[in-house]
Amino acid sequence: MQNTLTICTTGFNDQKPGTSGLRKRVPVFQQPHYLANFVQSIFDSISPPPGATLVLGGDGRYYNREAIQIILKMAAANGFSRVLVGQGGILSTPAASCVIRKYATFGGIILSASHNPGGPEGDFGIKYNTANGGPAPEKITEAIFDLSKKITQYQLVDAPDVALDTLGDYSVGSMIVSVIDPVADYAELMASLFDFDAIRGLFASGFRIKFDAMHAVNGPYAREIFIKRLGATEDSIINCVPLPDFGNGHPDPNLTYAHELVEILYGENAPDFGAASDGDGDRNMILGRHFFVNPSDSLAILTANATRVPGYSSGIAGVARSMPTSAAVDRVAKELAIPCFETPTGWKFFGNLMDAGKVTLCGEESFGTGSDHIREKDGLWAVLFWLNVIAARNQSVETITREHWAHFGRNVYSRHDFEAIPAEAANGVMQHLKNNFASLPGQKIGSYTVAVCDDFSYTDPVDGSVSSGQGLRVLFTDGSRIVFRLSGTGTEGATIRIYLEAYDPNVENHHLDAQEALAELIRIAGQLSELEARTGRVQPTVIT
């Protein structure tokens, strides 16, 4: 018999999940009852049946271990019969999705604030994934939010903490906790999709890589896959010991925050290939020697080369991209005569399409790429996909990308982020843009003419659910566009994202830097949004 305690509590009003779960500063989560309230609201909204198994793990950031002990005691009190938890409380987001699917569990809880900084004053996060291994759809996250406002009590069993560092089975009340190897199932899945012999041969031939785990969760995964299974040299991986504060860094694999890797790949005697992943291991950045691959292009290139990879050799059913992601992949889909779906930002919108067999590959401009092997984006998967394609084509990252542009044309693309803007000022920018929507179509601005303005709305083709208010689009007559969105993942003020895209079929222009090629659209974005006047900001915090 287990000793179940019922704790009285009152709801918080700020537990609305964003683009990917609930993300707040660590001190917010450390308030009495804050985490437990949210976890109880998850359990109440999903009503686990008797005998249900839960997967639990996180990216190892500060507060991960404490949170896991609380959740284990609550899972036991809420009727779960078993929890699979990664050793040390570690599971990358893709590995958690893999484990949920492989062992056909009821769902999983992932503890991560992804690419946001960690540490005692950094960010923490929590999200629920359903039995398909993917982030809960909006109807569940909305139910969790509703319950979190009304909650009056939560349950947990009175039991000692579990020894998270030692593999094996433990009891928490009448529930079994299995501490599992966080890497093994995932590494096995990767080996089943990619030609490991070919990649091993590539490394043996002298092809040099540098993978940066940014002191985050993918370190142990990278060591197992690149060093142990693929024979890469020890100096092929850097920052591969996960730290609770990510070494005081910002574990976001982009040109700004992954500067250590960028300097190596743009330096003298640079390796042939560079890659980085984020806090929870689901994002990726791909670099060649002195060359950056835009994530939107990466999705298009992987799609065009998919049949060179064993896991996708029989072809792909379709592709999907988030609305702000460039239309580079649309051109590939057209040539392959496969469907291409445009969804709102958020990996959760791909789940239904993959479950219905409508898409195989999907991706986002925010450094996320993945496939139906799991239901999360997958950083190491993207790196292995690129390495497999390079081994099969025996060409450099730059040559593969330039040949792709020469064939399909180049969707020149950039995203400008303005972080930590007071919410009121950010909302003012968005409202001002909307107010002008009626008068803009037909107007000539510089060399561009506005065709259509709208606020993107999506109807899920599988379940008919509608998601509106997903980003303001200004579409020009030549196919160029500017998109304005407020981020749903930040924790400090608001982040305005401006996505800029122009199509250029002319190879003579393909040497241009994206900022150069997009200079006029960047000016127009500033003019239309009155960003400087309304926020006082001139330069973006991050340019990708």
55-114: which residues touch ligand G16 (CB under 6 A)?
114
Q: Is 487 in the site for ligand G16 (CB under 6 A)?
A: yes
Q: Is 544 in the site for ligand G16 (CB under 6 A)?
A: no
Q: Which is nearer to ligand G16, 233 or 468 (CB)?
A: 468
Of the ranges 64-72, 207-215, 418-426, 484-492, which one interacts with ligand G16 (CB under 6 A)? 484-492
Q: What is the closest distance, in whole angstroms, from the C-beta atom of residue 215 to ligand G16 in the complex?
A: 16
Q: Which position among 489, 529, 535, 544 is part of the footprint of ligand G16 (CB under 6 A)?
A: 489
Q: Which is nearer to ligand G16, 135 or 182 (CB)?
A: 135
Q: What is the closest distance, in whole angstroms, from the C-beta atom of residue 452 to ligand G16 in the complex?
A: 22
Q: Count CB atoms within 10 A of the CB of residue 231.
A: 15
Q: E strands, 367-447, where? A: 368-371, 410-421, 444-445
Q: Is 20 in the site for ligand G16 (CB under 6 A)?
A: yes
Q: Which is nearer to ligand G16, 19 or 141 (CB)?
A: 19
Q: Which position among 97, 497, 517, 522 is part of the footprint of ligand G16 (CB under 6 A)?
A: 497
**Contact (CB, 8 A) for 363 and 357:** no
Interaction mask 26-55, ligand G16, x per CB under 6 A:
------------------------------
Q: Is 541 in the site for ligand G16 (CB under 6 A)?
A: no
Q: What is the closest distance, in whole angstroms, from the C-beta atom of residue 299 to ligand G16 in the complex?
A: 12
Apex CA 16: angle with CA 25 and CA 69, to 5°?
Answer: 55
Q: Which is nearer to ligand G16, 19 or 411 (CB)?
A: 19
Of the ranges 155-163, 211-219, 341-349, 513-521, which one interacts with ligand G16 (CB under 6 A)? 341-349
Q: What is the closest distance, in whole angstroms, from the C-beta atom of residue 322 to ligand G16 in the complex?
A: 6
Of the ranges 47-55, 166-174, 343-351, 516-524, which one interacts with ligand G16 (CB under 6 A)? 343-351
Apex CA 371: angle with CA 366 and CA 372, to 5°?
Answer: 135
Interaction mask 440-479, ligand G16, x per CB under 6 A:
----------------------------------------
Complete DSSP assignment for 115-162: TS--STTSEEEEEEE-TTSSBPPHHHHHHHHHHHHH--EEEEE--PPP
Q: Which is nearer to ligand G16, 26 or 512 (CB)?
A: 26
Give the list of residues 6+ apart from residue 435 with CB closer than 8 angstroms, or none.
none
Picking from 166, 35, 27, the residue whose alpha carbon sits closest to that of residue 89 is 166
Q: What is the closest distance, in whole angstroms, from the C-beta atom of residue 132 to ligand G16 in the complex?
A: 15
Q: Which residues pair with 275 in a beta bridge?
A: 211, 286
The pairing of beta strand 472-476 with beta strand 481-486 = antiparallel
Count, residues in the chain: 544
Q: What is the closest distance, in whole angstroms, from the C-beta atom of residue 277 to ligand G16 in the complex?
A: 10
Q: Per residue in 96-107, is it b (16+ CB within 10 Å) or e — as a string?
A: bbbbbbbeebbb
**Which DSSP state fits 248?**
G
Catalytic residue numbers read 114
Q: Is 352 in the site for ligand G16 (CB under 6 A)?
A: no
Q: Is 115 in the site for ligand G16 (CB under 6 A)?
A: yes
Q: Is 488 in the site for ligand G16 (CB under 6 A)?
A: yes
Q: Which position among 29, 341, 347, 408 is part of the footprint of ligand G16 (CB under 6 A)?
A: 347
**Contact (CB, 8 A) for 55 and 100:** yes
Q: Which is nearer to ligand G16, 127 or 308 (CB)?
A: 127
184-243: which residues touch ligand G16 (CB under 6 A)?
none
Residue recorded with tokens 């609201």: 41
Picking from 160, 125, 163, 121, the residue whose alpha carbon sits closest to that of residue 39 is 125
Of the ranges 36-44, 433-441, 481-489, 534-542, which one interacts with ligand G16 (CB under 6 A)? 481-489
Q: Which is nearer to ligand G16, 252 or 330 (CB)?
A: 252
Residue recorded with tokens 């917010």: 28
Q: Which is nearer to ligand G16, 114 or 298 (CB)?
A: 114
244-303: which residues touch ligand G16 (CB under 6 A)?
278, 282-283
Q: Which is nearer to ligand G16, 86 or 271 (CB)?
A: 86
Q: How are strands ordered across the β-sheet holding 291-293?
A: 237-238, 209-212, 273-277, 284-288, 291-293
Long-range CB contacts (within 8 A, 24+) of 487-491: 487/19, 487/417, 488/18, 488/19, 488/20, 488/345, 488/346, 489/18, 489/19, 489/20, 489/23, 489/114, 489/115, 489/116, 490/23, 490/116, 490/419, 490/420, 491/23, 491/24, 491/25, 491/113, 491/116, 491/123
Burial of 543 from C-beta contacts in 10 A (0-12 / 13-18 / 19+): middle
Binding residues vs ligand G16 (CB under 6 A): 19-20, 114-115, 278, 282-283, 322, 345-347, 364, 366, 368, 487-489, 497
